[in-house]
Structure 1
Amino acid sequence: MAGYSRTDDSPFGRWWRNVDRTTLICTFILIGFGYILMLAASPAVAVRIGASRNMFIFKQVMFLSVAGLIVTGVSMLSRRAVLRLSLIGGVLMLGATMLTLVHGIEIKGARRWIALPLMSLQPSEFLKPCFAVVTGWLLTERRTSRYFPGMLIAFGLYGLILLLLKSQPDIGMLTVITAVFLVQLFVDGLNLIFVGFGFGCMVAAGIAAFFIFPHVRSRVERFMHPNVGDHYQIDTALRAFGNGGLMGRGPGEGRVKDLLPDAHADFVFAVAGEEYGLVVCMLIICIFAAIVVRTLLRLIREDDPFVVIATSGLLTGFGLQAFVNMASTLHLIPTKGMTLPFISYGGSSAMSVALAIGMVLALTRQQPGGLRPGTSFITTLRQWRSA
């Protein structure tokens, strides 16, 4: 934007000069793909359930518009404001997650959602970015405040979230948050032996989940044994990729996608494969990779440990969610009900991912007055009161 020169001292001008414009542009490209693929995927699903043909389209337009505003608005915040937002949001979402166990909507045996007038809210989606930022601060703070038990509080917070997600149950979200926490501990300097022990515990927990939760056992058995159980969705998704080939059938020309029950949500990547082909699917993968790699390269030059640890957790959650969705659609891993960021249908998903990317842009933005190394817990509280 040529109109914002280095001499422009307005808030927007300063933001535009310092924000990671590459990541910002990639984010809005993904939002654009979300609009396009919702037009292709959702009408048949809406008709199948007896709703208006354009119901999902109108809702997703609203969700993605709000997501774009969240990305832009949050990216303008200071690092201190991002931490404050995460603390307040984390407390509210923890309470809402507890509420789902009592008054939540039960879908396919899980209580993860709270009914709202225009949408169903999944509070655990918002816990993910808030947890990453708060944990990053706790792990950093324990090094600067002698009597502050940051590590202990971080483990206690993780344990509480573990109990809540296990009770819903939401094993996929729990796995992502566990991976976020382990990556942050590794970046913080945890010995590789303990990191390996943590991943070993994850594997053991996965084996235990196989025997404890019937839906986990069913998905793993269907993945390992093609002749066991219902493979309709994954078989149809693979047919859609095969029907699309290299260049795709063209916009609106897909036919296999109309047979996919979750074409607008968990299997939207198959819709991209049928209508736009391998080339566009690779482009989508490259955009996700560009966001992750670009931000990691910026972290190499970052000297604030809070920013490095918090952003690493945010990127882990974002990248892992995208990988799980695309890999399960291609039948590379067992199927998991996890959305493709900014592209799959869903209000909670779109807005929570927008919150995470907005936080990434805010934390990696060059700005004065952030949480610098050596900022103690008491000093931080005083800064908040004076802000």
Structure 2
Amino acid sequence: MKQLISRLKGDKGIWSFVALLALFSFMPVFSASSNLAYLGHGTGNTLGYLLKHLAHIACGFAIIYYVHKIPYHYFRSISKWLLPVVWVVLAITMIKGTVIGGANASRWIQIPFVGISFQPSAFAALVLFVFVARYLSKTRTEPIDFMESLKELWLPVFITLMFILPSNFSTTALIFSMILMLVFIGKYPMKYIGIIVGSGIIFLTFFVLVSKAFPDAKFFSRVRTWESRIENFSTDKPDEDDYQIEKAKIAIASGKIYGLGPGKSVQKNFLPQSSSDFIYAIIVEEYGLIGGLGVLCLYLLLLFRFVVASHKATTIFGKLVVIGLGFPMIFQAMINMAVAVELLPVTGQTLPLISSGGTSIWMTCIALGIIIGVTKKEEEIEQEQKEAAKREEALQRLIDAELASEEQDKESYSIEDKVANPMNAVLNK
């Protein structure tokens, strides 16, 4: 174990908090999967779901380990070349996407010959954040030309979001808001950000108006879902989403301070998506306010380590990559918790590293691997500086020793001269 830990480079704090979240996830996933087990084969045996989650977590940590070994600056070029591939995959998903786990949106695609379902929007977000960080780091030292940035930055961004929007508005909004945050931190001019936000609002309005003109088109089917969720959030009209929120609130209220205990959740049998979208409600029901705040604190501590890692990074690209990949992860967790307590409408965002689901876990682990790769590079630079300082110190000691030896030789020569000169004088006489 010690040998394995010694091979893990980079920020040990990030490694620790990620491991704690992953280890904790087994208990709520094992408990909350019972309704899926009853629906799947009628026995209620959740062991299969636990083993599946274990495989996802194990693969996720393998991904973190191998990704963090790759020098992070390689991802500058990789993001540029992967973006067209992402567009092709998103287009295929839009045309041939499948419904997974009762989700009423075609946002998944089946990988041929493997039997694994994959959500391309999560991978697209990852590539897009690195792509934006690449552009901002390239133009940081030069005045930004708006027309040029439209072509090099915003056109790829809007093309990607255009493919994701019809099936997943919440993910599109999350990606767009995180990109705006990233360009703001990257010192993109505020007046240009205002123009981009206005353009995004106009495009979204146009999309909704077109969906009204063609209400029966499958391409615009999700617009009605967006409207109903916003309407149900602002009114008391009963709906399936209201049913989920009511069950989530009952679960949270039942948990009180200390919770009902591990595996003793009642609402997991009635709450749809209890092991993914609404797993935070099950956590609070079983572990109480203390457990809910504990999970929140782990995410906040992880956010703190991301801030420290960004501050320590010596390159602009490294700083922006940590912010661009780390902050959306924490923001997604906050959205998931806010939905569970009805601070936000139902969005379908999972709780990173805790909710079940391979795509969410693996994409999060790729992002973590890149972030840890940045901290590993800074750690290597710091280690090289320490070794260089040690070499200089050793060299200085060697020089001082040589100088001291020379001084000692000179003193011995002067003593011999003092002894020899009187003798020579006597002999001369």
TM-score in terms of structure 1 length: 0.84
- The C-alpha deviation readout for 1:132-171, integer Å capped at 9, x for no partner, is 112111222235699995663221210111211124x211
Give a deviation string over 1:327-360, Cα, whole Å, max 9, x none: 1111100011111101111111110011111111
Question: How many angstroms does 1:46 deviate by?
Answer: 1.9
Unaligned runs of 5+ in 1: 5-11, 370-387
> Equivalent residues in 2 for 1:1-387 (5 A)?
16=9, 19-50=10-41, 53-54=45-46, 55-106=48-99, 108-116=103-111, 117-143=114-140, 152-167=151-166, 169-196=167-194, 198-199=196-197, 212=211, 213-230=223-240, 231-365=242-376, 366=378
Distance 1:31 1:202 in 2: 36
Tell whether the 8 Å contact from 2:32 to 2:282 is kept in structure 1 after alignment.
yes
Q: CA deviation at 1:320?
A: 1.7
Does 72-81 or 146-155 show the bigger shift? 146-155
Cα distance per residue 1:202-246 (max 9 Å; x no partner): 666677777751111111111111234331111001100111111
Closer, same or farther: CA 219–208 of 1 in aligned 2, 3 Å: farther
For the residues of structure 2 that align with 1:247 and 1:210, how far apart are their CA atoms? 45
Alpha-carbon distance in structure 2 between the residues aligned to 1:229 and 1:257: 19
For 1:123, the aligned partner's letter is P
Separation in structure 1 between the aligned mates of residue 83 and residue 182 of structure 2, nearest angstrom: 17
User: What SS does the corresponding residue of 1:112 show, helix, strand or coil?
Assistant: coil
Separation in 1 of the partners of 2:125 and 2:93?
A: 16
What is the SS of the residue equivalent to 1:251?
Answer: coil
8 A Cα contact 1:133 1:311, kept in partner: no
Amino acid at match of 2:176: T
Give 1:45 shift.
2.1
* Amino acid of the structure 1 residue aligned with 2:305: R
- The separation in 1 between residues aligned to 2:332 and 2:277, in whole angstroms, is 11
Distance 1:2 1:192, change over 3 A: same
**What one-letter code is carried by the residue in structure 1 that aligns with 2:237?**
N
More helix by share: 2
Q: Is the 8 A contact 1:71 1:357 kept in 2?
A: yes
Task: Tell me the percent identity.
Answer: 23
Amino acid of the residue matched to residue 109 of structure 2? I
Q: Compute the displacement of 1:303 (Å).
A: 3.3
Instruction: Write out per-residue CA displacement over residues 263-294 of structure 1, whole angstroms, 9 at most, x where no aligned residue.
Output: 11100001101111111111111111111122
- Structure number with greater Rg is 2
Contact between 1:30 and 1:343, CA under 8 Å: does it hold in 2?
yes
Counterpart residue type for residue 22 of structure 1: G
Aligned to 1:384: none
Shift of 1:106: 4.1
| In 1: Cα distance, 2:57 partner to 2:130 partner | 23
- Greater CA drift, 237-246 or 43-52: 43-52
Q: Is the 8 A contact 1:210 1:216 kept in 2?
A: no
Given the superposition, is the C-alpha separation of residues 339 and 209 from structure 1 closer, same or farther in structure 2, using an over 3 Å criterion?
farther
Of residues 48-57 and 219-228 in structure 1, the stretch that sits farther from structure 2 once superposed is: 48-57
Conserved 8 A contact 1:242-1:274: yes
Range with bigger deviation, 359-368 or 276-285? 359-368
SS at match of 1:111: coil
How far residue 197 of structure 1 moved from its aligned partner, in angstroms, is: 5.2
What's the CA shift for 1:368?
Answer: 6.1
The separation in 1 between residues aligned to 2:196 and 2:42, in whole angstroms, is 46
TM-score by length of 2: 0.76
Q: Show structure 2 runs of 5+ residues with no match.
A: 212-222, 382-429
Q: Indicate conservation of the 8 Å contact 2:144/2:188, yes or no.
A: no
Q: Distance in 2 between matches of 1:94 and 1:83?
A: 18
Are 1:142 and 1:151, in contact at CA under 8 Å, matched by a contact in 2? no
Q: What is the aligned partner in structure 2 of residue 377 from structure 1?
A: none
The code of the aligned residue for 1:340 comes to L
Shift of 1:102: 2.3
CA root-mean-square deviation: 2.8
- Whether the 8 Å contact between 1:113 and 1:120 is mirrored in structure 2 is yes
User: What is the CA-CA distance between 1:297 and the residue it aligns to?
Assistant: 2.4
Instruction: Give the Cα–Cα distance (whole angstroms) in 1 for the partners of residues 134 and 287 of structure 2.
Output: 42
